[in-house]
A and B are shown apart, each in its own frame.
Chain A
Amino acid sequence: MNLLLPGMYFAADTVLHRLDPRVKMGAATVLMMLPFAARHPLGHLLTVGLVGAAVLLSRAPWRALLGTLRTVFWLGFFMFFFYFFTTPGRPLVALGGVTVTLEGVLAGALQVYRLCLLAVIAALLTYTTSPLQLTHGLEAMLSPLARLGFPAREMGMVMTISLRFVPTFFEEIETLSRAQKARGVDLSSGPPWQRIRNTVPVLVPLFLSAIRRAEDLAVAMEARGFRSQPHRTRLYRLTLTRADAIAALIVLACGGVGIAL
């Protein structure tokens, strides 16, 4: 679990790390819309500049960002060729019955550029915002919906608990696979269908234990006074700082200009 997986939180103390998770999520949404909404090349330039500045500010390691792009490589590859061959227009080359058009190349490139930006923006958000902060942010953003009867607090609780138990289940998978290996089950070789079949003796006990844990946890939560009540306070309240306001203003201004151009 020590390797930096694409999209994993990268602990550091930068301006971006310190921003309020709500602001970051909002900014990411605006930035993700821009490559689709902008029509003028200057709008795109503005977007790339803004994302590039954020990348520099985040001090995210380049290798990690490249790793993120690798995860969308095949999707981008297919998208590119899809547009490449299917867009009608001025023919460039004819390859055995298929005509490649200039419009096709441009449309394909545009899609790949959009995809890469989306991947980098999403990665930036998760690099600079811990899962815990993300849950706090989501919960806070959903909370106005509570008045409409949406179970915002319960959703927050569900997210918190899921995050809390991810490492626990990883440990458990480790233990279970070791137990199965000790019994002679080969989990890591053989044809794919064989490997999938071999995970069954790991998955079944994992699910059983998850259910048992859920029951225990429910009792423990109830013992500590948890219930579906409207009245619940929080240790941490998210508060917006001046930096948050400035960041929000910059992103909103750039978004407005980018779309208006």
Chain B
Amino acid sequence: MPIPFIQTRALEYTYTAEDGQAISALRGIDLTVGRGEFVALIGPNGSGKSTLARHFNALLLPTAGEVWVDGLLTSDPRHVQAVRQRVGMVFQNPDNQIVAGTVEEDVAFGPENLGVPAAEIRRRVDEALEVVGMTAYRHHPPHMLSGGQKQRVAIAGALATRPDCIVFDEPTSMLDAEGRRQVLQTVQRLNAERGLTVILITQNMDEAALARRVLVMDGGRIVRDGPPEEVLEAPEVEGLGLGRPFAAEVARRLRERGIPLPPGLLTVEALAAALRCTFR
């Protein structure tokens, strides 16, 4: 087990809807995410994924229970900036999270808020743009970029505060195929090469299959937690109507036609390898 980085204890979150009704969005979440993990968070709409994710950097505070980030209690007002420095967020809509008029000034926004000296901001901006491969665009205004490029700028903006963890809240759902590929590749690389803890919220089961651990939420609870091979094909998860990874669906149909294939084939590569074994 890696060193715990984010821990929640009996986390509950209740809010009052416009009609005055109290709604429990999170009903008792006990979760530990270790340093350097790559976790996918899936579940139907309204299951509480985004609500949970917003507790990880103190955008929301628990109604009951506790959230600890790197040993800091998020509900302690003195820790808010420290928590936000450690956990960055990238959101769904690439347009609605870019603040400044040029790429590099937007990336500088986070460190500026944390009071980092100008020379150090410069270093971090250059480095973050390098990591996401957007250095050539540093003087561009954001509206001249494609969706995938804007999302990479948003990732650079999160990286510039030197976080240990980035929470991605459906970062690819508004992108075309190429943008999706660029963003996912960046996410995977950050996790593999820099040991960044990644929490990826997604509706896309092929993306969830990239993680090493999948959390399934339903009705404000975590209903399943395990490696993708076990979780994504579990009957109760399939019952949530989230769909299957492409390779898993192909494997299922091949099995139906009598081709013997092992379970847990989530990627095209794994499926191809299994088929090669079968037909050798």
A contact set with B: CB distance below 8 Å: 131-132, 135, 160-161, 163-164, 167-168, 171, 212-213, 216-217, 219-227, 229, 231-237
Contacts and interface: CB of A to CB of B under 8 A. Distances in A.
A80 to B, nearest CB: 40
B111 A233 contact: yes
Given A220-B96, A227-B113, A234-B121, 19 more contacts: A160-B100, A164-B141, A171-B143, A216-B97, A217-B99, A220-B91, A220-B97, A220-B99, A223-B59, A223-B89, A224-B88, A224-B109, A232-B113, A233-B115, A233-B116, A235-B112, A235-B122, A235-B125, A236-B118
Given A164-B142, A217-B97, A235-B125, A223 B112 contact: no
B37 to A, nearest CB: 20
B95 A232 contact: no
A168 B142 CA distance: 9
B188 interface: no
Contacts of B143: 167-168, 171
B129 to A, nearest CB: 12
B263 interface: no
Contact of B105 (A131, A229, A236): A236
Contacts of B91: 216, 219-220, 223
A229 B114 CA distance: 10
16 contacts: A161-B99, A171-B143, A212-B96, A216-B91, A216-B93, A220-B91, A223-B57, A223-B88, A224-B88, A224-B109, A224-B158, A227-B81, A229-B113, A231-B115, A234-B118, A236-B118
Interface in B81-97: 81, 84-85, 88-89, 91, 93, 95-97
Contacts of B84: 222-225
Nearest to A218: B96
Contacts of A131: 101
A256 to B, nearest CB: 36
A140 to B, nearest CB: 14
B228 interface: no
Nearest to A222: B59
> Chain A interface secondary structure, helix, strand, loop or mixed?
helix
A234 B93 CA distance: 26
A100 B116 CA distance: 67
Contacts of B122: 235
A216 B88 contact: no
A188 B99 CA distance: 33
6 pairs of A and B residues whose beta carbons are closest in the complex: A216-B96, A220-B97, A235-B108, A225-B113, A167-B143, A223-B89
Contact of A167 (B99, B115, B141): B141
B116 to A, nearest CB: 6
A149 B54 CA distance: 32
A231 B125 CA distance: 19
